[in-house]
Structure 1
């Protein structure tokens, strides 16, 4: 009897390549020729190569978290980790991602080539940085025990709706991220929300540096430029099912590639990204043994775990239940954690 486990792979988005991740590609990327191809694309565009950014002597918030740099670094780190998964131990049955992680998911699932996926991620990150429309903040609606609290979530979203209705204010849900709400809007909208809610843990609401108003209608100019720059030829049939930011599944052999491009460069850019729903659909439709979160970073694992609690997956109703199950038979592997990485790579 085989002990090979099934897994849904989850690709992280912006904000996951930070100081601790400096050198991540040098440590983990498994294909020197492919990394050189990514570097060649960036050099041809007059951009710093990933090798230079990843190999910098020290991490720079201003340099490494810019959209035109962060997107390429995160995409490459994610794809490298996906390629490093030990196929004899783990059978990947589906792929999903958070926000920018959708571009990585396309490549991991085979809907784009690695090089074309890089073109998409790097182009969209660059366009976002050039426009830099609006901003983002994050605020929790779950308590420390992760017990579902739909009333608190509804209360916060009502505040968002009220602020957005004010003249000169723009504010909307950007990402439904486990126990967190990522909100996006213009300066007036973000300021108003910060004034309207009680601070939590001395950290929230937290502004996200070098982030634009992703997944809102403010990004329509960026989406339009992306559609001008990125043709349908970049997109193909996936080899693995993909769960998008609506919770919709794109199936191998049944994907309309023009529709895939339209979603990727349309709805995915300008409408809320429902990450919690994506994880819920992944759990219920594919019933994997594992959720494998690729690097870089380690922050997305918490959102995956919270999403599973919110979905009542395997009867988990709170943080304690998740931790007990995780301790007994791990269901979540974060490849950005040195102690968990060997569970995915076998090394």
Structure 2
């Protein structure tokens, strides 16, 4: 949403309203205790996807976040996630970390929230983005006519963060700046491609450091 505002696809005030409603819809669609999410470490993407597909015969589960080559988060109904974890353990996956989240976000269990958000998105008119914005459901540059549908899908679809970063690198991006507390995304990016420059801003000191680094480039 921030990127789309920067690209002038819609206004800041429109974004604030959408984000507020999106959060409300998501929390109501998946109240605390609805399903679970587990980070699967050091396992091949295809192995995880196959385990989820098999486990989904028991109860819903699917990949939710493709964060980096060594971490993919799965989410869904508790029985489905537990079955996927058991199948992965049988295949030798040793490290899986249950996440302390309030619900199985970016999965089909959030479909009711996506449907409610769609009505709000339909009431907006989107401008042609002035800058390329990579949508994290497809890891492709978002086109004006697809923005509403992609924002709707983003609520209930897997976040392809690793794919987005690789797409940007393919487009010639060699410097990334993470803005916000912590360095989680910065660490993900370095795991995806060690050759790029990764900076982060979380306070005034780091802001000055990043500004100096960017000026030096």
Asked if TM exceeds 0.5, the reply is yes
Aligned to 1:104: 2
How far is 1:104 from its partner?
2.6
Please tell me whether the aligned partners of residues 172 and 216 of structure 1 are also in contact (alpha carbons under 8 angstroms): yes
- CA change 1:215–1:238 in 2 (3 A) is same
Q: Hey, what does 2:144 align to over in structure 1?
A: 256
Partner of 2:77: 186
Q: Is the 8 A contact 1:109 1:240 kept in 2?
A: yes
Q: Answer yes or no: is the 8 Å Cα contact 1:137–1:208 preserved in 2.
A: no
Write out per-residue CA displacement over residues 174-203 of structure 1, whole angstroms, 9 at most, x where no aligned residue.
111112111110111122234442542xxx
What is the SS of the residue equivalent to 2:124?
helix
The structure with the larger Rg is 1
Task: Tell me the secondary structure at the aligned position of residue 205 of structure 1.
Answer: strand
Tell me which residue corresponds to 2:154. Answer: 268
Match of 2:36 in 1: 135
Structure 1 stretches lacking a partner, 5+ long: 1-102, 143-151, 309-321
Aligned partners of 2:46, 2:150: CA distance in 1, in Å? 27
Which residue of 2 is the match for residue 206 of structure 1?
Answer: 98
Check 1:304–1:138 CA distance in 2 against 1; reply closer, same or farther (3 A cut): same
Partner of 1:229: 120
RMSD: 2.4
Which residue of structure 2 aligns with residue 99 of structure 1?
none
**Residues 238/232 of structure 1: CA separation in 2 closer, same or farther (3 Å cut):** farther
Task: Provide the rounded CA distance (Å) in 1 between the counterparts of 2:46 and 2:54.
Answer: 12
Aligned to 1:18: none
CA distance in 1, matches of 2:85, 2:56: 13
Distance 1:228 1:174, change over 3 A: same
Alignment of 1:48-59 (within 5 A): none
For the 8 Å contact 1:247–1:281, the answer to whether it is kept is yes
Whole-Å separation in 2 of the counterparts to 1:177 and 1:193: 18
1:175: which partner in 2?
65
1:232 is displaced (CA, Å) by 4.1
Q: Deviations over 1:107-145 (max 9, x none)?
A: 233222222111111211111111215332212126xxx
The TM-score normalised by the length of structure 1 is 0.53
SS at match of 2:129: coil
Tell me the equivalent position of 1:242: 133
Contact 2:18/2:120 (<8 A) preserved: no
User: Structure 1 segments of 4 or more deviating over 4 A?
Assistant: 337-340
The size of the alignment, in residue pairs, is: 204
Q: Answer whether contact 2:36 2:75 (CA < 8 A) is retained.
A: yes
Q: Distance in 1 between matches of 2:174 and 2:156?
A: 33
